[in-house]
Structure 1
Amino acid sequence: MLQLLQPIWLYAMAGIIIPVLIHLWNMSPGKTLLVGSVTLMQENSRQQSRRVKLTDWFLLLLRCFLIILLALLLSKPVWQQQPVNKEKGWILMEPSHINETYQQFQPLIDSLLQAGYTFHYLQPGFREARLPAALEERGDTLADTTSYWELVRALQQQRANQRAVYLFTPNYLHRFEGLRPVIDTGIHWYAYTPKDSTAAWPAGAYATADGTIRVRQVSSNPGGTSYAYEENTGTLPADTATSRLVIFADAYVQDARYLQAALKAIQQFTRRKMQIAVLHETTALPSAADWLFWLSAKPLPANVNAHNIWRYDSGKVVNTASWLLTENMPPIALYKSIAAQDTAAALWRDGTGHGVLRLEKRATTSIYHFSSRLDPAWNELPWSPAFPALLLPLLFPDSITAKDKRAIALQQLAPDTDQQAVIKPAGITPVTKDLSSVCWIAIVILFLAERLWVLRTQKNPAHG
């Protein structure tokens, strides 16, 4: 398709009026020839007159076409053409489950390959490969950790020409970390429950306040993850350390009481060895602590030494009617928050996706930024029975991600119906060819033809 990068130069085509005016100006009347008999020369005179007019009109056309080509050259003509792409779409599977995935959906995958779809690895870069060779690589021994949401977001930016995409993945919930991206109707997602869909393991043992040893047993399946506590039989090493938790509150005394109650509930439930101290003066802060809950808008003292710090954000207070969203608990009403920058990894979010609790990792300290308050006027967290359950994995984290067998709801994989929000793919870049050289060649040819025609007419003048 022909396109002009600077079409304003087409106005220069109006310059063809110049050779037209010159042609009309140079038309002079014919000379009168004295002959013996006018009757004998009339027919030849008409023929000669017609030849003169044809010659002049041809020269005029050459000069007009020359000006038109010059105007076209200044307009920078290009020819754009979509590259030929016979590929109908992509089939994507991750290497760590490629053999099991292919067995689950073999008829559909084979039919897509026969229809012209190409296989790509579901991993950053989406490398293309031959499926038979990929199956022989025994990729089940590899480990994939990239979030499916991040892969889908990158896929929608990379896939060209809005080609259809078929995703085949396990339905493990732990692979869907972060915010869910918009999914357009060109993505067809098929998820399945893997064979190893149940798991049970000990999450560690610790010494209780009364001197006994408790073991935390974890059981996970597609329906959820549960925990059970039992007495240690001596097979696991026990953690005998006492967790030291410090709550500092100056103007937020009531917030400290809500937090202290939640920590005591955790202590009673787990029977862990915990020391909980509530302080109101910075001079009383201990030299070291496992957790420091800084319930204050004041900056942290320089001499604070704690492995984990929970601190209030400071800034503009924003009234909102939203929800506090966490991974495993029902939504909690959120009334106020602090307008803060999401510079750290979000653990809890509000209904708009902004982080309410964000984790900042430093060399020896983990800082938890909380952009709200532990106050019923700010949110329903202090009154929620989920508050201690939300604090428990922060205080005593378990590394269960790789063994987590919970399954995501299939509705989460469905395309979005609001096409206004869908990220449009980049598309195939058209092939652009510059036509300037073609215009130059045509101009040179027309110029030479015009000069040759002028020389020819000068050497062969018309005679009556």
Structure 2
Amino acid sequence: MFTLLTPSALLALLGLLVPLAIHLWNRRPGRTVQVGSVRWLAASANRRLRSLKLEQLLLLLLRAAIVTVLAVALAGPAWQRPAPPARGQVLVSPELLTSATLPSVRPLVDSLRRRGYEVSRLEKRFPLISAEEWTAIVANPTASDSAGYTTEPDFLWARAAQAAQRFADRPVHLLTPAKLADLQGTRSNLPPNLTWQLIPSPDSGAWVQAAGLSGADKLRLLVGRSDEEKTTFQPITVARPDVAGAVSVPGLPPLRYETSATKQAVVRRADDSMAVPVQAAMRLRVYYTADQAEDARYLAAALRAAGSGLLVPPVITVSASEPSPSDSLTWVFWLSKAPISTAWKRRLDKGLSWWQQASGPGTAVTSSFGPAGAEVLIPVLRRDTAAILPPSTAVWTDGSGQAVMSRRTEGRGQVYTLHTRLNPAWSGLPDSPELPALLLELLQPSAPTLDLARNDQRVIAPSQVQAAIQRSSDSSENAPRKAVRPAPDTFTDLRAWAVLAAALLFGLERLLARRRPISSPVSPA
């Protein structure tokens, strides 16, 4: 549709009076008429004035057209195209596209499609899903590719806000799982054009979180179970096959116990979708000299308390006899002033963990430290004066930022140095209820093979999502919800074409003006 951006500029059309006046007053010279008497001249002149009329009509029209086109160009001519009707968006998370619950949401999605909604993936750039692709995905959800999907904290909150902003001119319907693990972190404020529907998982999940050897013929499994309300863990002891064989656990799919060529035992699901390494029981040796016997007593009690939190309790030996580097040990707690020998350093290179504490008289200090959430801080009364060997990182720090315990990597092993002592004269660690938990963090093996978030089936309350959407429309709870903004029309500027047309008309006018016939001048009577 043709429109003018500045209609008031059409006042320039008054310039049409200029070529009209020129044509009325700039008349061609008359013919020379021989008369016998001048008495007829006055009458002839009066007749010419009474017969005043336009001449060179085509030239006049061209000049008027030039003025008209220039006036229109000043008015800002444009071609207005109405914006296409805003189509709603249905955004489906890739995790839901691969879930067995997808067929249950098909009626909703098909209904929205019939109302003109487009279906897209909740991914970067929100790629569209065609009708044929949607039918194929619903027929076989597990065959869909969700490799680009991530469940990092704040992912769904951030992606929902991005989708609502990307399609701010249209309604957006979001379909995602209701898993609490996907919706951790900071909740975003969402605009009112977003409708977020959470789809719960159909069944509870059960899996093996960790596995370990218990004795010569027992297998210890940490079985996790999760449903919409809670996630629990239960240790289960079953018979261990000699080399390889089936492992039966109630409520779990078929499992197999296998030993690889590297002698690493694993518990594997029959469909190969899960493999959990089997950890052997840790062997801890506490060695002490006479001057640190009291420290050893406190340490042994704390280690036994910490061991109860492990899947397989460790084997703890407390002795005043120095251990041999050839012993099969996981940890050595060295309560002695003697330095690490070369033989033990070779064991460190192979993955041994070593604990040592301050030696010498130390120096009196006044500081404290404690784990996050501790009700009572642990006082530090004395600390060693030895320099911390680089490269070391602080494991525990006091209120002044000084390391209470540091860790240094030696090959594949770790050296932990406590810069105070497990002695009431040095610190409050011996009497602290936090000591077993602090030691458990050190003894705990590396992160579990299976990510807990992958199996956590707990769901978020839909009211939390609705509260985020309602609060984003206005800071007041009673404020009216804002309407979705319609998409603006598009305009194509035609001023350049108007100026070009005026230039062409001007060239044609000049051509006709040069070809106008020239009359001979009036000769005197």
Say if 1:247 and 1:295, in contact at 8 Å, map to a contact too: no
Q: Deviation at 1:225?
A: 1.8
**Distance 1:450-1:295 versus aligned 2 partners, 3 A rule:** farther
Equivalent residue runs for 1:121-136 within 5 Å:
121-136=121-136
**Deviations for 1:253-276, whole angstroms, at most 9, x for unmatched residues?**
233498888899xxxxxxxxxxxx
**2:171 aligned to which of 151, 159, 164:** 164
User: Which residue pairs with 2:368 in the alignment?
Assistant: 254
**Are 1:145 and 2:150 matched, yes or no?**
yes
Listed one character per residue, the Cα deviations across residues 68-96 of structure 1 (whole Å, up to 9, x for unaligned) are: 46757xx8x76564553x56222222344
The code of the aligned residue for 1:50 comes to K
Q: Is the 8 A contact 1:90 1:164 kept in 2?
A: yes
- Structure 1 partner of 2:501: 442
Partner in structure 1 of residue 228 of structure 2: 222
Q: TM-score, normalised by structure 1?
A: 0.56
5 Å-filtered alignment, 1:103-122, equals 103-122=103-122
2:473 counterpart letter in structure 1: Q
What is the CA-CA distance between 1:176 and the residue it aligns to? 1.9
The Cα shift of 1:162 comes to: 1.7
In angstroms, what is the RMSD of aligned CA positions? 5.9
Give 2:187's match in structure 1, choosing from 168, 180, 195. 180
1:107 partner amino acid: P
* Residue 483 of structure 2 is aligned to residue 405 of structure 1: no
Say which SS state the counterpart of residue 179 (structure 1) adopts.
Answer: coil
Match of 1:372 in 2: none
Residue-by-residue CA offset, 1:193-227 (whole Å, 9 max, x unaligned): 222333353444599xxxx9976443321112234
| CA–CA separation in structure 1 for the residues paired with 2:373 and 2:112 | 56
Change (3 A) 1:192 1:304: closer
| Structure 1 unmatched runs, 5+ | 265-276, 308-363, 366-384
Structure 1 position 244, deviation (Å): 7.6
2:91 aligns with 92
Over 3 Å counting, the alpha-carbon distance change for 1:124 and 1:214 in structure 2 is: same
- Post-superposition offset of 1:110: 1.9
Asked if the contact 2:192/2:472 (under 8 Å) is kept, the reply is: no
Q: Which residue of 1 aligns with 2:53?
A: 50
Q: Is the 8 A contact 1:15 1:67 kept in 2?
A: no
Equivalent AA in structure 2 for residue 295 of structure 1:
D
Distance in 1, matches of 2:444 and 2:376, equals 12
Q: How far 1:441 moved relative to its partner?
A: 2.8
Q: Distance in 2 between matches of 1:246 and 1:426?
A: 67
Cα pair distance change 1:228/1:70, threshold 3 Å: closer
**Do the aligned residues in 2 keep the contact of 1:89 with 1:163 (CA within 8 Å)?**
yes
Q: Where does residue 472 of structure 2 map in the other structure?
A: 418
Partner of 1:254, secondary structure, is strand
Between 1:23-32 and 1:185-194, the stretch displaced more is 23-32
Alignment of 1:319-334 (within 5 A): none
**CA–CA distance in structure 2, aligned partners of residues 206 and 291 of structure 1:** 32
SS of equivalent to 1:194: coil
Return closer, same or farther for 1:15/1:293 CA change in 2, 3 Å cut-off.
Answer: farther
Alignment of 1:65-464 (within 5 A): 65=68, 68=71, 79=79, 81=81, 83-84=83-84, 86=85, 88-98=87-97, 100-137=100-137, 138-141=140-143, 142-143=145-146, 144-146=149-151, 147-159=155-167, 162-205=169-212, 216-228=222-234, 236-240=278-282, 241=330, 253-256=367-370, 280-281=383-384, 283=386, 285=388, 292-295=395-398, 305=408, 397-398=447-448, 399-414=451-466, 415-419=469-473, 433-452=492-511, 454-455=513-514, 459=518
Amino acid paired to 2:116? G
CA contact (8 A) 2:211 2:219 kept: no
CA shift, 1:114, in A, is 1.5
CA distance in structure 2 between the aligned counterparts of 1:289 and 1:278, rounded to whole angstroms:
23
Change (3 A) 1:286 1:296: farther
Q: Deviations over 1:91-111 (max 9, x none)?
A: 222344336444223332222
Unaligned runs of 5+ in 2: 241-246, 248-277, 283-329, 332-352, 359-363, 415-433, 476-480
8 Å CA contact retained: 1:205, 1:232: no
State the Cα distance separating 1:409 from its structure 2 match: 0.9
Shift of 1:304: 5.7
Q: Secondary structure at the match of 1:105?
A: helix
CA distance change for structure 1 residues 70 and 88 in 2, over 3 Å: closer, same or farther?
closer
Is 401-410 or 53-62 further displaced after alignment? 53-62
| TM-score normalised to structure 2 length | 0.50
How far does the alpha carbon of each residue in 1:292-321 deviate from its partner, in whole angstroms, 9 at most, with x for none? 1233555889x96269xxxxxxxxxxxxxx
Quote the residue 2:285 is aligned against: none
Cα 1:233–1:416 change in 2 (3 A) is farther
Distance between the aligned counterparts of 1:187 and 1:30, measured in 2? 80
Shift of 1:434: 4.4
Letter in 2 for 1:433: T
Change in Cα spacing, 1:193 to 1:290, as seen in structure 2 (3 Å) is farther
Q: Which amino acid aligns with 2:498?
A: C
Distance, in Å, in 2 between the alignment partners of 1:442 and 1:81 is 23
Measure, in 2, the Cα distance between the counterparts of 1:78 and 1:126. Answer: 33
* 1:46 partner letter: R
Structure 1, residues 171-205: CA drift from partner, whole Å, max 9, x if none? 11112244322222222222222223333534445
Instruction: Please say if residues 101 and 168 of structure 1, whose CA atoms lie closer than 8 Å, have aligned partners that are also in contact.
Output: no
Q: Does the 8 Å CA contact 1:205/1:239 hold for their aligned counterparts?
A: yes
Deviations 1:110-138 (A, max 9, x none): 22121222221222232112244334253
For the residues of structure 2 that align with 1:394 and 1:26, how far apart are their CA atoms?
110
May I ask how many residue pairs the two structures share in their alignment?
358
Aligned residue identity for 1:140:
T
Q: Which amino acid aligns with 1:123?
A: E
Conserved? CA contact 2:177–2:200, under 8 Å: yes
1:46 to partner: Cα distance:
1.2
